[in-house]
Chain A
Amino acid sequence: MKRLATIWLDGCSGCHMSLLDTDEKIVDIAKQVDVVFSPYVDTKEFPENVDIALVEGSVSSEEDLEKIKKIRKNTKMLISFGDCAITGNISAMRNLYGAEATVRRCYVEYDNATPPTEEIPALLERVLPIHEVVDVDFHIQGCPPPADAIAYALTELIADRIPNLDEITRFGK
């Protein structure tokens, strides 16, 4: 049985919502995989020997950077899941201003608060799509990818086939 992991880095969790939106198809998928890590399960550490990892969101903080390297090391097939993972998308819009300006805007200008230096991971100067940090094996486009595209892609990937998503999703779908 394939070991499936899903995780979000700098994303809005919308891609994971869309994964749940696969409705009854998720039951078929669940029968074929062992979900070893996910926001939907209680494991805290990303495990070893993962066959397929769906990674939502872009690489935006020191923590994301550590996570994605570990995911790559422990995963056979790393999937960039959704537009933030593939292009930076909304998460990367702060790149037009830089990390410091973003923090200042959120904490100081909006709330007159002091930006935290502990407990919250430091932002990278630039938000990066996953493939600019580690090798990516497959891309599922969309913001979020439509549920049908996710169900089809997973079904094919579980069966060791490379799905063709040309007709069912695209950037911004």
Chain B
Amino acid sequence: MIKRARVKTLKINRIDVSGKSGQTILQVARDAGIYIPTLCELDGLTDVGACRMCLVEVVGQRKLISACTFKIKEGMEVFTDSEKLQKYRKQILSMMFAERNHTCSVCVSNGHCELQAMAKKVGMNYVEFPYVFPHFDLDATHRRFISDPNRCILCTRCVRVCDEIEGAHTWDRMGRGIETTVITDFAEKWGDSETCTSCGKCVQVCPTGALSEKGVSVAEMAKQKEFLPYLKSNRDKK
């Protein structure tokens, strides 16, 4: 039986666009060449709206909504780059920087970091909230990898790739709000994890220097994310 895609038309930034029923605002915007900033979203993983960078205004909605999780509707009007959104994105990004210790100059991911690049994209030249300076110890117990919570933005890409692609579900979140951390197994040392297959997918999808390979120095940790859409498309064919 042929599945018929239902087409929906909507306006993004006053431009007429159309998408298939079930697509998100982000997908339709990308197809139309309209840029919406994202950090937690990654092609091949379920979208969760964790980072809030993709917040957009939808006419008739009182709250701002995340473009990566909100499905398109017929006749909807979306604004992706208003002054209000630009201001909020800077604030959201400022909070990510303020909540942890992202010391870019001495980070393994310096120059390859999506968080650092995002600061440029949204024009965040300084952090407008007081820095929290929390104290996190890094976990270097794994044979090949290091977890440094000081650089984590809680995007949960590691959690999702481990669960959805590798099928191990070693990673998960613990705690709430600013206290949240990502953990391995039951908040045990990564090196002691019985579920971790040491595949390294979490390291490669991590947008910052929070997860890295051992043996790399400052600015050497370039991530390879290409495997993910490749794996996903091959699996979708089955």
Residue ranges of A at the interface with B (Cβ–Cβ < 8 Å): 80, 83, 86-90, 92-93, 95-97, 126, 129, 131-132, 136, 139, 141, 143, 166, 170-172
Distance in angstroms from B101 CB to nearest chain A CB is 7
Q: How far is the CA of A18 from the CA of B107 in the complex (A)?
A: 21
Cross-interface CB contact of B126 among A97, A139, A143, cutoff 8 Å: A139
* Interface pair B101/A96, CB less than 8 Å apart: yes
Pick the interface stretch among B15-23, B54-62, B130-138. B130-138
Q: How far is the CA of A88 from the CA of B130 in the complex (A)?
A: 11
CB nearest neighbor in A for B125 = A139
Q: How far is the CA of A136 from the CA of B105 in the complex (A)?
A: 22
* Interface pair B127/A129, CB less than 8 Å apart: yes
Q: How far is the CA of A155 from the CA of B65 in the complex (A)?
A: 42
* Interface pair A83/B104, CB less than 8 Å apart: yes
Besides A93-B103, A129-B131, 8 new A-B residue pairs in contact (Cβ under 8 A), listed by A number: A88-B131, A89-B104, A89-B105, A92-B103, A136-B126, A170-B116, A170-B119, A171-B116
Interface residues of A, dominant DSSP: mixed
Q: Which residues of A contact B102 (CB under 8 A)?
A: 171
Report, nearest first, the 3 A-B pairs whose CB atoms are least far apart: A172-B104, A143-B105, A95-B133
**Contact A80/B133 with A89-B105, A172-B104 known, Cβ cut-off 8 Å:** no
Q: Which of B111, B117, B125, B130 has the most CB of A within 10 A?
A: B125
Residue ranges of B at the interface with A (Cβ–Cβ < 8 Å): 97, 101-107, 110-111, 116-117, 119-120, 123, 125-127, 130-131, 133-135, 219
Q: Which residues of B contact A132 (CB under 8 A)?
A: 130-131
Q: How far is the CA of A170 from the CA of B103 in the complex (A)?
A: 12
Q: Which residues of B contact A136 (CB under 8 A)?
A: 126
**Contact A172/B107 with A87-B97, A92-B133 known, Cβ cut-off 8 Å:** yes
CB nearest neighbor in A for B129 = A132
Distance in angstroms from B145 CB to nearest chain A CB is 22
Q: Which residues of A contact B125 (CB under 8 A)?
A: 86, 139, 141
Name 22 interchain pairs, CB-CB below 8 A, sorted by A. Answer: A83-B105, A87-B97, A88-B131, A89-B103, A89-B104, A90-B105, A90-B106, A93-B101, A95-B133, A97-B135, A129-B127, A131-B126, A139-B125, A139-B126, A143-B104, A166-B120, A171-B104, A171-B116, A171-B119, A172-B104, A172-B107, A172-B111
